[in-house]
Structure 1
């Protein structure tokens, strides 16, 4: 099996072989025609020019200079179009917030020397939509000299922590940017672990229906890409079921309201089973509970004697 490098090089090698055959075949054809008295002077001139052009393209391809040559031809076309009055003199940008105007123009391929005629609007739109922050872009050419670029940016929906790194993600899980101390990100919910970015809408929308619980959550941890465990601000872990997420959260809210469950000296609340709620005491609470039970047993034994 060819390596990735070899596989990537195969199309280039194929093009080279095709060009080799074209040049050799062109030369043989030209020599054959030159030997024939039927070839007119004009036809010979055009065929010679064609052969030289093919030879030039072949040399550019073999030397890896084709992109530079294409850029040079484009610059020449822009220069001619600009002289004819089609220089991009006005650029109207709208909708950008996180992406800078410089990044937008550079990505769209707009330079001070660009002309409206030779700007590829569809290619510019495609490249803009490859930027993480940009959800949708519209590029319109308004002749003779105006370019309109409208941007719809993605919004930060949550913070995703994985492998010690925190990124801002969009609603669809797209990583937008590394987290920074920006005021816009401080109140975003935090999700943690593999698969958390793909299921972020599920947990965020479920918590939004139970604000009494949501406001106590520090982070939501994705477990085995199947269910969630909530890490509360006071250190308690709340293990949620795979299904019935909203029902479990509402049950937790009732228990906290009626019995102050989330204020007790516990470490884990397990809601994974629909017919029961299990809790685990902290070490200190467990020892205190054991001491209390021993004291009761001792008192009961003394009263019986």
Structure 2
């Protein structure tokens, strides 16, 4: 301030552009001072002529060795080799082999320490053998009790259609207990020409039929697998009909037909199936309906039962009517 209390003003005229340049220059100098030695070296290296870069590169390596952590080269080499090995394993589809090899090595060490599975207690087995159950669970002669994943074994067992439930217990040091609840073969199911063995809940147990299952009841058609339990339970209440039934056919996923062992087709109604089966049972007991020369019985209409005769029976019936007509005409002429 001057003597009069007023603010003093610079005698140099203001030059905005020059002031900005000076400010930028000052900032650049400050920034350069803050740069690390490696950053300053890189800036000089980029600005140097090609002839000087070779000499500068040696200085850069020396600086890198000075500031880099110790043994970083060894770590980088190990990391590169490990990455190359992992890439080769993935590209060559050897992941499963590597995992299995590691698992075998780990189990071998545990077995040597006394955790080898010496005995297996298996409860609930009926259809499957012990070897089949162990194979399904992934338990083999190399498995050790210490590293065995009981939950994983249980999940593998339950994924098999024959096994409804399973429980796996590890009894240290060397015993394994497996409790299974097996499904029971309930019926044969045919769809689109394919024949399968199913349980009562409709689960497909096997996609082929061995001789031991040939006596099971046969259900046919889409949706017959899930509806078989209720329908066959109803049919069991009428042994007169069940004993002569060869197959139950699910039509349009709405109603059932019966194919009897002698080839007779019975078309059941969509509703009141129990009453229709009761009527069939009564007619067979009283009039031997199933032994007559007929090929089809239609019960879809609630107020009537329609019977279709075989060709021979129909011709014999027609000949009988003709003979009766002739007899009537002769009697009338006389």
Which bin holds the TM-score, normalised by the shorter protein? 0.7 to 0.9
Q: What whole-Å deviation, never above 9, does each CA across 1:173-207 have from its counterpart, x for those lacking one? A: 2222322222xx34421112333222211321120
Q: Which residue matches 2:322?
A: 294
Which of 272, 279, 282 is the equivalent residue of 2:310? 282
Q: Which residue matches 1:10?
A: none
Secondary structure of 2:225 counterpart: coil
1:215 positional shift:
0.8
Cα separation, partners in 2 of 1:37 and 1:251, compared to 1, 3 Å: farther
Q: What whole-Å deviation, never above 9, does each CA across 1:132-181 have from its counterpart, x for those lacking one? A: 32222222212221111112111111122345443321112222232222
Q: What whole-Å deviation, never above 9, does each CA across 1:218-265 have from its counterpart, x for those lacking one? A: 111222333221111222110111222222111211222233222221
What is the distance in 2 between the residues matched to 1:124 and 1:186? 32
1:266 positional shift:
1.0
What is the distance in 2 between the residues matched to 1:186 and 1:68? 42
Residues 185-264 of structure 1: pairs in structure 2 closer than 5 A = 185-264=213-292
What is the distance in 1 between the residues matched to 2:81 and 2:66? 22
What is the distance in 2 between the residues matched to 1:124 and 1:60? 27
Q: Which residue matches 1:29?
A: none
Higher relative contact order (CA 8 A, sep 6+): 1
Which of 88, 106, 122 is the equivalent residue of 2:151? 122
Secondary structure of 1:41 counterpart: coil
TM-score (norm 1): 0.80
Q: Which residue matches 2:46?
A: none
Residues 3-14 of structure 1: pairs in structure 2 closer than 5 A = none
Q: Given the alignment of the two structures, is residue 171 of structure 1 paired with residue 227 of structure 2, yes or no?
A: no
Residues 10-21 of structure 1: pairs in structure 2 closer than 5 A = none
Q: Which moved more, 1:199-208 or 1:273-282?
A: 199-208
Which of 73, 93, 107 is the equivalent residue of 1:78? 107
Which of 88, 95, 106 is the equivalent residue of 1:66? 95
Secondary structure of 1:250 counterpart: helix
Q: Which moved more, 1:71-80 or 1:40-49?
A: 40-49
Q: Which residue matches 1:181?
A: 211
What is the distance in 2 between the residues matched to 1:41 and 1:229? 85
Q: How many residue pairs were aligned?
A: 271
Structure 2 stretches of 5 or more lacking a match? 1-60
1:295 positional shift:
1.8
What is the distance in 2 between the residues matched to 1:40 and 1:232? 88
Q: Given the alignment of the two structures, is residue 96 of structure 1 paired with residue 121 of structure 2, yes or no?
A: no
1:293 positional shift:
1.4
What is the distance in 1 between the residues matched to 2:175 and 2:144? 10
Q: Which residue matches 1:111?
A: 140
Cα separation, partners in 2 of 1:188 and 1:70, compared to 1, 3 Å: same
Q: Which residue matches 1:137?
A: 166
